[in-house]
Structure 1
Amino acid sequence: MNIVCVAACTAGIAHTYIAREKLIKGAKQLGHQIKVETQGTIGTENELLPDDIAQADVVILAIDVKIKGEERFKNKRVVRVKTEVVIKSPVQFIEKVAKSLSHA
């Protein structure tokens, strides 16, 4: 599965980056490709390119706040989740997303 993700928390500091790391580790553990953009206090990092988005099977928005550029994901399968969910159980969350895609 090819995943793109945006992570953003309320403060734009800790949970944003922890969620990014957990998603990357979880996806790699399960054999999936993932790219994670962060939108935090220092702005946008690892910005997703149009090609990244076009090739994605799913978009995960691990967000606790409104993000910039959400319109980029129009016509893509989008899964919204709180950052704390992906921090606590990233592997189980990604497995659930993969399962829902296989039933789509």
Structure 2
Amino acid sequence: MKIIGVCACTVGIAHTYIAQEKLENAAKKAGYEIHVETQGTIGRENELSPEAIAAADVVILAVDVKVAGRERFEGKRIIQVPTEVAIKSPSKLLEKAKEVVQQQAV
């Protein structure tokens, strides 16, 4: 499964990067491909390419604020949760993403 995501917290520092790390580690453990963009006080980092967006099966938005460039994901399956969910339960979040992808495939 190919996942893309955006992490952004209200301050744009700690929770943004913790959520990114937790999602990346859980995806690696599950054998999924993941690319995560962060949006914070220094702007966008690891910006998602149009190719990565096009190839993605699902988009995870672990955000506490409005996401810049959300229109890029139009037509994609999107799961939006607070950063806290990605930090505390990254594996459960990825299971939910898998369910969403499988439901759409039926």
TM-score by length of 1: 0.97
Q: CA RMSD in A?
A: 0.7
Name the aligned partner's letter for residue 26 of structure 1: A
The match for 1:54 is 54
1:20 corresponds to which letter in structure 2?
Answer: Q
State the 1:91 CA deviation.
Answer: 0.7
Work out the CA distance in 2 between the residues paired with 1:96 and 1:76: 15
Q: Which whole-Å deviations, capped at 9, do the CAs of 1:58-101 have from their partners, x for residues lacking one? A: 01111000011000001111110110001001011101210222
Identity across the alignment (%): 60
**Structure 1 unmatched runs, 5+:** none
Task: Please state whether the residue corresponding to 2:37 is helix, strand or coil.
Answer: strand
User: Do structure 1's residue 68 and structure 2's residue 58 form an aligned pair?
Assistant: no
Q: Which moved more, 1:88-97 or 1:3-12?
A: 88-97
2:54 and 2:21 map into 1 onto residues whose CA distance is 23
**Residue ranges of structure 2 left out of the alignment (5+ in a row):** none
Matches within 5 A, 1:8-23: 8-23=8-23
SS at match of 1:75: coil
Q: Measure the CA separation in 2 of the matches of 1:66 and 1:44.
A: 13
Q: How many residues align?
A: 104
